[in-house]
Each structure stands twice: as C-alpha cells, then as structure tokens.
Amino acid sequence: MTAQWLSLIATIWLQSISGTNSNFPAYSSELKRILSISQLQLNNLASASDAGKLLGWLSGIAAAHLPLRLVLLIGSLLGLISYGIQFLFLTNQAHSLSYYHVFTLNVIAGNSICWINTVCYIIAIRNFPFDRQVAVGLSTSYVGLSAKIYTAVVDVLFSSSEAERARAFLVLNAVLPLAVCVVAVPLVRVIDVEKSRGLERGFLGMCVITMATGLFAVITSLRFLSSRHGWMILVGMFVFMVLPILVPAAENVREGVQRKCLIRVHDDEGFTSFAQSKDDDELEEVRGSDIGAKLMLRSVEFWLYFCVYLFGATIGLVYLNNLGQIGESRGCSGTSCSLVSVSSAFGFFGRLLPSLLDYFYPRHLAICGSKRLVSGAAAMGIMMIPMCVAFLLLLNGQNISLYISTAIIGTCTGAITSISVSTTTQLFGTKNFGVNHNILVSNISIGSFLFGGLAAMLYKRRINVRGDTCVGQKCYQLTFIIWGSLCVVGTLLSFVLHARTKKMYSSVNRR
C-alpha cells in the first residue's frame, strides 16, 4: 500500500510543476517587444503551445510501449530544450531566432507537457483502479498550482523588472520540471492492485492536505500579501508540497497496529463483508467498453464530447492564456502575474472539486441506500453554467469584476479538465486511455487558434492608430460576448451527450 501512496505523491509533485504553459502571460509581453510582433502574432505563439497537444497521442503510444520512467524523462527533456532556447533568446545569447523558430519551440514545449501528464494519468488510473476519479482529481488539482509556485519563486529570487521576471519564468520552465522528474522517477511505476482496501482514511488525509494547500495558495494570492511576504509564501508552498508524505507514513503505522490486532482476533467474515461493501461503492469503475481510437472517432458520442470540451475547458484556457493582455487593456499594468496567481489558485480548487464530490457523494448515497451516478457529461455541463455567467460579468469594466470572473473561469476550467479524465474512461474504457484522451485534448490547440485568433483580430480593430496597444473595456467586449455564447452552446451539448449516454448510467444505477 505504501508504494501506491508514494506513486500518487510522485504524480502530485509532477503535476504541480507541469503547467508551464500557464506562465506564458508572465513573459508574453517581453516576447512581443523583442520580436516586434503584433497582438495576433503573439496570440499565435500562445496557441503554438496548445498546438503541441495535437501530437500528444505520441506520448500515449510511447507509454504503451516504453517504460513510464523513460516517457517521463523524454517529456522533461523536451521542455528543457524548448524553454531553454527561448531563455537564451531573451538574454541575447541566441540572436538568430526568428518568429517561426520561437513558434516551433512553443509547439515542442506544449507537447512536452503531454508526456508528463500522460504518465501521471496512467499511474493514477492503474494504481487506484477503484478510486481513479479521486486519485486523478487529487493529482491533477496540483496543475492549478503551477503558476503560483513559479510566481512565488520568481518573486523571491529575482528582481521586479519585467524583463528579468520574463527570463526567470523561462529558465524555471526549463529546469524545474526536469529536476522534479529526476526526483520522482524512482516512485513512478505501475503496481499490481487486486483490490483497493482501506484507502478511505488515506484519501481523506490527502483531501485535507490538498484543501489546506489550496487555501494557502488563494490567501497568499491577495496582492497585499504576495507583495510583502515572498519568503513566507515560498517556504509555505514547499512545506505543503511535502506534507502528503505524512499519509503513507500514517498508513504504515495503522497497518502495523492492525497486524498486531489480527494476531489476537482474525475475523475472516469481517474482511469479506468489508470487501463486498467496498466493491459496491466502486461506481467509478463503470465505463464503456475498451475501444481503440479509430472506433472512437466514428462515434457520435465522441464528437459531442469533443465539442463540449471545446466550448468549455478550451475557451476557459484561451481566456487564461490571454490574461496578460486582458489585464493590460483594463489598465492593470504590472498585475498580470497577480491575475495568473488568482487563476492558478482557483484552478487548483476547481480540479480538486470533482474528487471531493466523488469521495463524499457516493458514500453518502450508499449510506442512504441509493446509487445514483451522475454522468461526466452532466457534471461538465453543470460546471459550464457559472462560466457563462462569468463571461457576462466581464462586460463590467470594474477591476473587481475582472478578478471575480477570472476566479470563476479558473475554477470551472479546472473542474472540467479533471472530470474529463474519468469521463474518457467511462465512455471509451481504460485500455487505450493514453491515446484516446490525448486525441480529445487536441481540441485545445484548435480552439486556441480559432478563439484566440478571433480575440486578437477584434483586439486589433480597437487599437488606437497611434499605438499598438488597446486600452479600455471595449477591447475585449465583443470577444467576451462570443466566448460566453459558445459556452452556452457547449452547456446545451453536454446535456445532449448526457441524454445519449443515459442508458449506460441507468443500468449502473440499477445494480
């Protein structure tokens, strides 16, 4: 059991530093200045990172044929190369890079994330087959902390100039994932698990630690704290990242006590009863048949699912990628990193939310004698409703509306991202998950080009003829209306998908 928990802790550490693409707003303005490019070209650079996900299925194939540790190292090395060269470019040590070179490097950087994420998903799904939503949600929630962690390091160790901060983010994007991968490699392995027994207390402890970590991240994202207590925040984040080790330590102590008790009293019937009740609670095991990518692409359910994700999580990610320019247009010069921290912290809670519901909700229903299972499609639709409201709220020109909307969009985007992992397994099985899910998230690159490009073009139309920067509420007004409308469409499609897959969940609820 200890090996199970250590593998989950390894995925937590890996996910916490894998969200390097969320740092793009922190150095995008510097890239724009050095490359002398337009807002549309800058948006294409942001989209290039998402375009790397078009080749994410390669990591799925690699994970099926290569050791997971090797897959992990390949991903971290790709990140080292792509971000490292961009760092050299910003420090004038690589003079010959053109816009298209930087574009290609961003594609590689985006693809590197897929390799790390694929390993983390596979470890969580296979090592916790009867608690996969909880395990996946716990680990992926830490992706939402990536920007917070990187920002905390930069605030303490580097100067406050925009140029220096931009270089700092890039060098950390290059080095930190590789360093953590080297530390985590010994713990990354698939464990043969016949049954998940006695994990409830461990998951409860993990949830408590994770919630405390998220609260710390949210509170320290407040501007008056983040600007005054940099060292406290950095040390605090490090402590919270180490705390999950207490769970396997406590589990070892508990197992030792149980062994001593079993020497005195061995109740086989008690163990049988527990195993049976545990099996009855494993609602997350319900899924469609294990099918390959070709068959999946022929199904109507996949394309509905694809569009739901496209108009939900992808639009949210495009919004978050444009936070730097959105904040600048609202006159929040110099606070783009603060917005990034807010979105990161609330994204953390969003990714954690499905795990908390999955942990407590089914068990509460089991106590009440019911086993109603909410489909992933319906859950995604429910989380998209607040996003529609947030885009409407963005039409208000006050900065408080900007921060509230960013928090809502960050939370909902994170939740949908987490829910989608279990939804993919429910609809298409676990055998080909690495390839199937990477095909799904390839819509992020498509949406990034379409929605991000649209935002850049509308932004350009609002630019004053004397400059290259748009200032004012109207810069993104029409963009927010369009994004919000698409989000409404995605919400409706999610319930259409739920209706089409309702029979599968109804059959499970009758068991």
Q: Which of 338, 315, 336 is nearest to 148 (CA)?
A: 338
Task: Give the pLDDT confidence score for residue 339 in this predicted structure.
Answer: 76
- Neighbour-count burial of 202, counting CB atoms closer than 10 A to its CB (0-12 exposed, 13-18 middle, 19+ buried): buried
Summarised one tens digit per residue, pLDDT across range 41-90 is 887 887 788 788 888 889 989 998 899 999 999 999 999 999 999 999 88
Positive or negative, the CA dihedral 284, 290, 294, 299 is negative
Summarised one tens digit per residue, pLDDT across range 471-497 is 777 888 899 999 999 999 999 999 999
Task: Give the pLDDT confidence score for residue 284 in this predicted structure.
Answer: 39
Q: What letter represents residue 191's amino acid?
A: I
Positions of the chain with pLDDT under 70: 1, 193-198, 222-228, 255-289, 332-338, 340-341, 359-374, 464-468, 503-511
CA distances from 175 to 22, 74, 87 (A): 16, 14, 11
Q: Which of 394, 417, 457 is nearest to 15 (CA)?
A: 417
Cβ neighbors of 487 (< 8 A, separation 6 or more) are 311, 312, 315, 384, 387, 388, 391
Q: Are residues 127 and 139 in contact, defined by beta-carbon separation less than 8 angstroms?
A: no
How far is CA 436 from its chain centroid?
17
Helices (H), 291-398: 293-297, 300-309, 315-321, 323-329, 336-367, 376-393
Q: What letter represents residue 263's amino acid?
A: I
Q: In the chain, what are the helix, strand and coil shares in percent, each to the nearest 5? A: 80, 0, 20
- Neighbour-count burial of 115, counting CB atoms closer than 10 A to its CB (0-12 exposed, 13-18 middle, 19+ buried): buried
Phi-psi region of 463 (alpha: psi -120 to 50; beta: other; left: phi over 0): beta
- Listing DSSP states for 222-263 in one string gives SHHHHTT-HHHHHHHHHHHHHGGGHHHHHHHHHHHHHHHHHH
Task: Give the pLDDT confidence score for residue 399 in this predicted structure.
Answer: 80
Task: Give the pLDDT confidence score for residue 273 in this predicted structure.
Answer: 33
Q: Are residues 219 and 100 in contact, defined by beta-carbon separation less than 8 angstroms?
A: no
Measured CA to CA, the distance from residue 436 to residue 467 in angstroms comes to: 45
Q: Are residues 12 and 237 in contact, defined by beta-carbon separation less than 8 angstroms?
A: no
Measured CA to CA, the distance from residue 481 to residue 195 in angstroms comes to: 49
Task: Classify residue 91 by its DSSP letter.
Answer: T
Task: Classify residue 54 by its DSSP letter.
Answer: G
Can you point out the beta strands (E) in 45-190?
A: none
Measured CA to CA, the distance from residue 363 to residue 18 in angstroms comes to: 32
Instruction: Find the radius of gyration of the CA atoms of the chain.
Output: 23
Number of H helices, E strands in the chain: 25, 0
Measured CA to CA, the distance from residue 134 to residue 206 in angstroms comes to: 10
Measured CA to CA, the distance from residue 488 to residue 490 in angstroms comes to: 5
CB atoms within 10 A of CB 182: 12
Task: Give the pLDDT confidence score for residue 333 in this predicted structure.
Answer: 55
Task: Give the pLDDT confidence score for residue 416 in this predicted structure.
Answer: 92
Token pair recorded at residue 124: 């969580």
Measured CA to CA, the distance from residue 283 to residue 407 in angstroms comes to: 31
Task: Give the pLDDT confidence score for residue 408 in this predicted structure.
Answer: 94
